[in-house]
Every structure is written in C-alpha cells, then in structure tokens.
Amino acid sequence: MAGFADLNLPAGPDKKGLQSLLEAAARLGYSAVALNHVIDFKEKKQEIVKPASPSELFPSLPIVQGTSKRIKVLNRLTLIVSDPSHCNLLRSTSANIRLYDIIAVFPKTEKLFHIACTTLDVDLVCINVTEKLPFYFRRPPVNVAIDRGIYFELLYTPAIKDSTMRRYTISNAISLMQICKGKNIVMSSAAERPLELRGPYDVANLGLLFGMSESEAKAAVSTNCRATLLHGETRKSACGVVYTVKKPRKVEEEETTLPACKKAKTQA
Amino acid sequence: MARADPPPPPPAAFERRVLRSAAEHHYLRVRLELPDGGARPSAAQFKQLVVTALRELHGEVGAALPVDVLTYEEKTLSAILRVTSSGLVKLWSALTLLGFYQNRRCAFRVLQTSPFLLALSGNSRELVLD
C-alpha cells in the first residue's frame, strides 16, 4: 500500500517553521512530503535555484506516526505560467530543473491549460482554488492528461482560511470532477503553519465533499501521489522506472511442524 | 464480426448477500488543537463550536444535524462525538474545514471514527510496533 503524501509544503527561508511543519506532517501520518519552490514569471529576475538536499536542511527527520521510518522529503518546482513563452524553459534541458523530483505548472489561461495537459513534460497541473475559474475545463485536454499520467492538484488550505475561498475551492473542484470523473486528482495542503495541516483521512473525507467516491478520495492522498512521484522519476531516465521490493520469505517451518500422520497422508 | 452465443451460465452455486451497515450512529474521537496560551472552551462552548463549524459549511441544515458530545475533557481538549451515520461526512468535513476559534487558529484532529462506541476505547494506530 502506498503511504500518504502531501505534495505541497511551501519551502521558505524559515527553517524553523519548516521543521515544525515536517514534524506535524509526520505526526499526522504522512510518509512523504514535497517542499514546493514557486517561480512566478510575472515578477522579474526569477531564477531556478538549485534545491537544497533535505538531509542538509534537516539533520534528523521526524519519524512517521505508526511506523519506524523517517519521513521522506522531496523537492518540487511550480511554474506559474501566464504566457506561452514561459513554457520554453521546460523544453530546454536546464540543468537545475532536473534536480527537482516533481515539476508542476499553474496555467492561467485556457490555452496554457491545454498546452500543459497535452504537450508539456510536467507531473502536476495546479487548479486554481482561490478565485473563480477564468475558463471552463474541456474534456479533450483533460482526457489527454489522464492518458499521459499527469495529475491535477487541488489545495485545501485556502478553504480553511477563508469562507469565500472555500466556496471557490468547492465549486472549482466539483466542475473539475464533472470532467475528469474523480480520476487523476491529487489533494495537497500548501499549509504554512502546522495548524493548517489536516490528517490524510480528513483530506480523503474532504474528497467526498468534492464529489469523489471513497476509493478515489483515498487514492488522491496516497496512490496518486506516489504515481506523480514515479512520473517525475521517469523524466530522469530514458524510458521508465522499475521498482523491486523484497518479498517476505514464506515461513517454511509450517510443514515441519505438522504432525507426522498428516504428512504421510498427503504423500500417499 | 460474428459472435457465437455465450453458453448459458451455470446455475449459481452461491447466494449473494449484501450486508449494509445498519448502524444508526457513528462515533468520532476528536481532539481540538489550539495555539498555546489560548482560552480553552468549556463543554458548552465546545458544542457551540461544533455547531458553528457545521453551520459555516452546510448552513442551517447542517446546524440541525443531530450531533451529541458524549464526553469532553477540558484538560486534553478531546471529546467523543456521536452523529447519525448519514451525517458523518458532513460533520467530518465541517470539522476539517474549521480553522478559527475566537479569531485564533485552531485545528480539529479526528483521531478515530467507528460505528461502535466500544472501538474507541483503544487505538491501534498508537501502538508501538517493531
């Protein structure tokens, strides 16, 4: 079973705040989080910085509740694109882009949404949840995105902060659900404080409110996050990734502990 | 494309039984998280907070949902709520989206939910396994 993941924790200069966020996420049961670096092309002089490796930032990562493993920290890059020329950056093989585990785009117009879904080499497409949608989702680009294994991201923290944004979050989420039918959705937080984080089961329950089924809602915080991560990893390799897991060995003592009379019967 | 008629299905060797959860109520064990040094709600204020959360998200219909606070500990801010099964998603989502108590940030942590009250007496997630 894929563990729970939160693919959007804003990475800021505040290391102490980030540490407390990580601790809160681990306590709530998230086994992986992604630190989000945002690049907005509207502001001048935006450079893609080299992400710091999590082990440098945090010497000791907190242990996930209920397991004995430490939380996994990833790096994610979000590009806010409002003009088609901004996408050139993704096509060029910039060295720094390759250092990020997940790449997301936030399209501002319908045309860019179409480009993001159909041609761009990204893992996540962010859905605007803080204002009224500037365009309607259309079926063709969304279907192409689902075929290509690109996921749509919905944030829930704006819905906690403000009642107007809550309205937009729910209405935009429902209109997306009508098109993608609950498939390929990732729900993440974008929480800046530990009190804005919610547990994975709470978020899955929120998915029911957005019109997903129970299994789709749970996938939105677990398996879909893992799929996004693997999709990001395929970018670094030639064609794909294969994971091997050690299979727990069958206990062979069972046979030997059987009474001798039963053994003889099966052989006869 | 020509298709051969499928052979008649063999008589079912099994009987289908659908068991729906007949439980009338669901129980939730919740904990309210407040920033340090804030005023702690009393039991009545706690119930008021839950109803406010329901009204914020689901309006008057939500506020009319039968929710009971069975136990409430002011020291740990943890409580056990009872809600009719059909209102579980409404109550849970309302608690999730509650962000403020008296203009200060707060968060509801839903620790456990179950159709059986007895199940809340222990929590397997808190067990230390090795």
Return the CATH number at A116: 3.20.20.140
B77 near B83, Cβ under 8 Å?
no
CATH of B35-113, one of 1.10.10.60, 3.40.50.150, 2.60.120.200, 3.30.70.3250: 3.30.70.3250
Task: Locate the DSSP E strands across A50-193.
Answer: 72-81, 102-107, 124-126, 151-155, 185-188
| Chain A positions with Cβ closer than 8 Å to B | 28-29, 65-66, 68, 156, 159-161, 163, 166, 193, 195-199, 201-203, 205-206, 208-209
Q: Where are the alpha helices (DSSP H) in A29-128?
A: 54-57, 88-91, 110-118
- Mean pLDDT throughout A167-175? 89
Of B95, B109, B130, the CB nearest to A68: B130
B81 near B70, Cβ under 8 Å?
yes
Predicted confidence at residue A268, as pLDDT, reads 45
Task: Say if residue A254's pLDDT is above 70.
Answer: no
Task: Say if residue A35's pLDDT is above 70.
Answer: yes
Chain B residues in contact with A159 by the CB 8 A cut-off are 97
Whole-angstrom CA distances from A262 to A18, A250, A251, A253 are 61, 20, 19, 15
Cα separation, A82 vs A65, whole angstroms: 40
- For residue B129, name the pLDDT band (cuts at 50, 70, 90): low
- Residue ranges per structural domain of chain B: 35-113
Average pLDDT, chain A: 80
- For residue B36, name the pLDDT band (cuts at 50, 70, 90): confident
- With 0.95 as the threshold, say if the pTM is over it: no
Of B93, B99, B109, the CB nearest to A199: B109
- For residue B83, name the pLDDT band (cuts at 50, 70, 90): very high
Q: What is the number of other CB atoms lying within 10 angstroms of the CB of residue A268?
A: 5
**ipTM reported for the complex surpasses 0.85:** no
Residue-range definition of the domain harbouring residue A203: 4-267
Whole-angstrom CA distances from B40 to A57, B21, B37, B49 are 36, 36, 9, 12
Torsion of CA A11, A14, A20, A24, to 10 degrees: -20
Percent of residues, chain A, with pLDDT higher than 90? 3
- Mean pLDDT throughout A149-162? 88
Chain B residues in contact with A198 by the CB 8 A cut-off are 96, 107
Give the number of domains in chain A: 1
- Verify whether the Cβ–Cβ distance A206 to B98 is below 8 Å: no
Instruction: Show which of residues 7-46 on chain B sit within 8 Å of chain A, judged by CB atoms.
Output: 33, 35
Whole-angstrom CA distances from B94 to A166, B52, B58 are 11, 9, 8
Q: Look at A209 and A251; give whichever has higher pLDDT.
A: A209
Task: Say if residue B1's pLDDT is above 60.
Answer: no
Q: Quick: pLDDT tens for A128-145.
A: 888 888 888 888 888 888
Least confident piece of the model among A48-57, A58-67, A69-78, A182-191: A48-57
From the list A16, A21, A13, the residue with the least C-alpha distance to A197 is: A21
From the list A162, A157, A160, the residue with the least C-alpha distance to A8 is: A157
Interface contact B117, partner A, CB < 8 A: no
Chain B residues in contact with A202 by the CB 8 A cut-off are 92, 95-96, 109-110
- For residue B23, name the pLDDT band (cuts at 50, 70, 90): confident
Predicted confidence at residue A43, as pLDDT, reads 66
A23 near A49, Cβ under 8 Å?
no
Task: Say if residue A258's pLDDT is above 60.
Answer: no
From the list A96, A80, A76, the residue with the least C-alpha distance to A36 is: A76
Task: Say if residue B19's pLDDT is above 70.
Answer: yes
Percent of residues, chain B, with pLDDT higher than 90? 22
Q: Which residues have CB under 8 Å from B114's CB, separation 6+? A: B26, B27, B120
Least confident piece of the model among A103-107, A239-243, B93-97: A239-243
Torsion of CA A115, A120, A123, A124, to 10 degrees: -30
From the list B65, B34, B46, B55, the residue with the least C-alpha distance to A163 is: B55
